[in-house]
Chains A and B, each alone.
Chain A
Amino acid sequence: MDEIVTFERALLWLTVFLNGGLLVSLLYRKNHRVVPFFFAYAFLNLLQGFVLFGSYWIWGFASPLSNRIAWATQGLVIIFRALAVAEICRRVLGKYRGIWALAWRMLVATAAVVLLYSWAVAKGSWQFAVLNSDRGLELAIASVIVIFFLFTYHYEVTMETAVRTLTIGFFLYSCFFVLNDTVLEGWSHKYSTLWNLLGALAFVASLMLWNWALWRRLPENAFEPEMLSNGIYRTLAPEINNRLKALNEQLEHFCRAQRNRS
């Protein structure tokens, strides 16, 4: 325990306090029914804090056993973080059946490609295997969130402010973690103390965002829009594309006319 510096310890207690507050807020506002995976993620985070605290207390901060426990619990937490992000995506896009069918395939494909990329780029040694998995998953989560936001922007799908803030919290945390893990891999032990500190700071920032976002109760039943019949899309989509193509051709003609003149 002596290795943990005072500031880091204070941060640890702050994360425990904020995480506990988040759980209480989720339960009190009954938001745990609306975002169950997010609730599970927040709960596991808190539990991880206590498990880590206990293991450092018993076996010491630098013990290999504490290290293994830390990474194992981190694996579980990150899986639930990914599930919480998927839950948010579904909440926003799921009510639009056509878009959701396209979106979830795109999101899964993005996550798979990014994970493969992370593994291909990472160092091959076993020493960094857990770190690489962690970074790969965080990078996949960040990429999925960006694609999700691009979808909502492209189709002008409205998003509740609370849900948007939750997602921003996930995105910023994941981005920070990828950068932090990459620097740790590059400079290894020289950076490890700072790595823990910066990671805790990023998590505190995300917890603050989430606490703020879930201060109010989220509506339980998402609105279901009335869908059009299948035939309308099949008839109109190619027709609209043809007309967009015609407008593109007109611009091309405009370009050509300019070139001919000059």
Chain B
Amino acid sequence: MSLLLYSFFALIGLLLLLFAWSVRSPKRPARRSSSVGAVGECEHKHVTYLPQIRQTFSKADYEFLSKNAPPGVLRRVHRERRRVALAYLEALRDDFQSLLQMARVIAVLSPELEAVHEFERLRLTAKFTCQYQMIRWKLLGGAAPVPQLSGLSDFVSGLSVRMEAAMKELGERAAVAAALASSMNRRGLDAG
């Protein structure tokens, strides 16, 4: 049997894997039920805690502690920072999932889709998932140090500005969101 014929077996194996993956029940975040409104709420929650997040990653704090605190305290701080970093990652993922859910509802209820936007979203999702899992496993395994504010402060500030803008935009789109939520409910009734 030629080598190329073996590719049929490989292809069938791949199809079976993809099939098994796609028929399983979708694992979505618990916040899913309030998906459309959740984006704004979530960002609003993050804005409230931004000063604390910023403080957690403060480089000056860490340097001060490394000079003055005993090693036990320093280790504990390091652990706590890792925990905060993981929680922050989780929050980013929740934001991403909420946006994806919103995009999904809009796509399902739209009479026309543009393949470019759909494939772009697929690419972004794949990229985000890979990066998220990589960072998460590194942090969980202790293989990667928790980032310092020098790196994070800029983007946390940037995020704050973007979130304010997003909140404003979402306020303007409240009517659209309400219409979407209502359509989603109708869809849910159908699914039941």
Give the interface of A toward B (CB within 8 A). Answer: 96-99, 101-102, 121, 123, 135, 139, 142-143, 145-146, 149-150, 152-158, 164, 168, 171, 175, 178-179, 182, 185-187, 223, 225-228, 230, 232-234, 236-241, 243-258, 260-262
When distances are taken between beta carbons in the complex, the residues of chain A under 8 Å from B102 are 236, 240
CA–CA, A85 and B87, complex, Å: 45
Q: Which of B19, B112, B186 contacts A101 (CB 8 A)?
A: B112
CB distance from A147 to the nearest CB of B (A): 9
When distances are taken between beta carbons in the complex, the residues of chain B under 8 Å from A179 are 8-9, 12
Give the interface of B toward A (CB within 8 A). Answer: 1-2, 4-5, 7-9, 11-12, 15-16, 18-19, 21-23, 26, 89, 92, 95-96, 99-100, 102-104, 106-115, 117-118, 120-122, 124-125, 127-128, 131-132, 134-135, 138, 144-148, 150-152, 154-155, 159, 162, 166, 169, 173, 176, 179-180, 183, 186-187, 190-191
Q: Which of A168, A175, A250, A251 contacts B15 (CB 8 A)?
A: A175
CA–CA, A99 and B118, complex, Å: 10
Asked if B190 and A223 make an inter-chain contact with CB atoms under 8 angstroms apart, the answer reads yes
| Nearest CB in chain A to that of B3: its residue | A121
Asked if B135 and A254 make an inter-chain contact with CB atoms under 8 angstroms apart, the answer reads yes
What would 25 A/B residue contacts be, using CB atoms closer than 8 Å?
A98-B112, A99-B113, A101-B113, A139-B11, A146-B22, A150-B22, A153-B21, A153-B22, A156-B26, A156-B104, A182-B1, A186-B1, A225-B109, A225-B187, A230-B111, A236-B102, A237-B107, A237-B121, A240-B102, A241-B103, A247-B128, A250-B92, A254-B151, A255-B135, A260-B148
Q: Contacts A157-B108, A248-B127 given: A253-B100 contact, CB under 8 Å?
A: no
CB distance from B33 to the nearest CB of A (A): 13
| Nearest CB in chain B to that of A233: its residue | B110
Going nearest first, the 6 A-B pairs with the smallest beta carbon separation are A257-B151, A257-B147, A186-B1, A233-B110, A149-B22, A158-B191
| Nearest CB in chain A to that of B4: its residue | A121
CB distance from A126 to the nearest CB of B (A): 17
CA–CA, A261 and B8, complex, Å: 47
CB distance from A25 to the nearest CB of B (A): 24
| Nearest CB in chain A to that of B128: its residue | A248
Asked if A121 and B187 make an inter-chain contact with CB atoms under 8 angstroms apart, the answer reads no
Q: Contacts A227-B111, A247-B92, A260-B150 given: A145-B19 contact, CB under 8 Å?
A: yes
Q: Contacts A121-B4, A146-B18 given: A227-B95 contact, CB under 8 Å?
A: no
User: Apart from A99-B108, A232-B106, A258-B146, what 11 extra A-B contacts exist at CB < 8 Å?
Assistant: A121-B4, A186-B1, A227-B111, A230-B111, A236-B103, A237-B117, A241-B120, A245-B124, A248-B127, A258-B145, A260-B151
